[in-house]
Amino acid sequence: MNDAPLATLLFPFERGLVDPPRDEDRVLFLGAPGGLLLPADFAGQLSAVQGFRPDYLALQQAGFAVSPEPQGESYDLALVLLGRHRRENELLLAQALRRTRPGALIAAACAKKDGGGSVRKRMAGLLPLEDHASKHHGVVFWLRRPESLEPGLVAELADGGDAADGFATAAGGFSDDGVDPGSALLVECLPDDLSGRVADFAAGWGYLSVAAAGRASDVKSIDLYEAHHASLEAARRNMAAGAPQMPVRFFWHDLLGEPVDERYDVILMNPPFHRSRAAEPDMGHGMIAAAAKALKPRGRLFLVANRQLPYEESLQKHFAAQGELRRDTVFKVLWARK
């Protein structure tokens, strides 16, 4: 989910700048990557935290104890792998402080291109750092959890706000600063005759689902599928507030790696096309294929995408009919029918 180099985080341990954990130590790893490999002398009882479903599944398959949200307290060591989103980074650092014992080591790393230097300076302004280093195109810093935390310090880190445009959002998730313009355009183009069972693929914090629930009286139920756990939790809050009467289910799900067992009359989608900074249109093609499999005969798909993405070829491959509803200077809204 992020680009922060694991090698940067492990550098102070491998160079003997800090001691690796012992067998009896409890270690919390916030933002643990799916391809996690630890040094041979890295002992301890590791609890990995990863809210991005593909990485979570990879960690689980590799045999790590992993959860989508932090659990437990009084850890002896916290490792924190940071990414591009300042608000998410500060929430992770706040969790590290909350869940370690006094005197515990907290080590965090962030890629330089993601603002690693700024994160280090921010933390140094709040708490004394033991040291820091630059290595492998990243910045790593480490500190000891104080015996007592000053009132408001953790709250200051965690106070990133969680609402925009009247909706709950999720730090680090898609469009965490408000309604995405592409999704708004898709909602404008949705027909009034939506009916039956509806699914929202790559639902984010649920904007499309809330809109569909309020727009079409014949919608019987809505299922939301999302790989980013915090976004799905925000979607729960938004559906409870914006569509409390709608039968709804939530699936923490990797649409590109896990099959969809249900079948739907309508699927709505603003498919992601970035894993990091580089555009990867194959993600959208894969989600279109997944939507085609999950639709009933004559079921309909409505999606929005950047104008330059060549999704029409996938729609022609997987659907009996397809077309365009609207486009503006940035986006296009497409439809397809099984």
Per-residue model confidence as pLDDT tens digits over 266-276: 999 999 875 55
- The pLDDT value given to residue 150: 83
Average pLDDT value over all residues in the chain: 93
Helix (H) or strand (E) holding 69: none
**Which residues of the chain form beta strands (DSSP E)?**
26-30, 45-49, 65-67, 75-81, 100-111, 131-135, 138-144, 163-164, 167-168, 195-201, 218-226, 248-252, 264-269, 295-306, 321-327, 331-337
Mean pLDDT of all residues in 59-84? 97
Residue from 187, 332, 149 nearest 268 by CA: 187
Cα separation, 51 vs 237, in Å, equals 17
pLDDT of residue 20: 94
Per-residue pLDDT, 154 = 83
Cβ count within 10 A of residue 176: 22
Both tokens of residue 329? 């200077």
pLDDT value, residue 327:
95
For residue 272, the model assigns a pLDDT of 84
Instruction: Write down the pLDDT at residue 215.
Output: 83
pLDDT band at 175 (very low <50, low <70, confident <90, very high): confident
The answer to whether the CB of 75 falls within 8 A of the CB of 27 is yes
Q: How confident is the model at residue 177 (pLDDT cuts 50, 70, 90)?
A: confident
Q: Which residues contact 57 (CB under 8 A, 6 or more apart)?
A: 34, 254, 257, 258
333 neighbors 326 (Cβ within 8 angstroms): yes
Whether 172 has a pLDDT exceeding 70, the answer reads yes
Res. 156 pLDDT band, cuts 50 70 90: confident
* Statement: residue 162 has pLDDT above 70: no
**CATH 3.40.140.10 corresponds to the domain 6-158:** no
pLDDT at 232 over 50: yes
**Which 3 state secondary structure label does DSSP give 155?**
helix
Q: Tell me the C-alpha distance between 153 and 313, whole Å.
A: 52
Worst-scoring range by mean pLDDT, 11-15, 152-156, 182-186, 212-216?
152-156
Model confidence at 231: pLDDT above 50: yes
Percent share of the chain, pLDDT over 90: 84
pLDDT per position as a tens digit, 253-290: 999 999 999 999 999 999 987 555 545 678 999 999 99
Paired tokens of 280: 């990867």
Q: Which residues contact 184 (CB under 8 A, 6 or more apart)?
A: none
Q: What is the CATH number of domain 163-337?
A: 3.40.50.150
| CB-based contacts of 58-63 (< 8 A; 24+ apart in sequence) | 58/34, 59/32, 59/34, 62/36
Comparing 59 with 154, the larger pLDDT belongs to: 59
Selection from 36, 28, 30, 29 nearest residue 6 by Cα = 36
Task: Round to whole Å and give the CA distance between 113 and 166.
Answer: 32
Q: Please name the amino acid found at residue 180.
A: D
Spell out the domain ranges in the chain. Answer: 6-158, 163-337
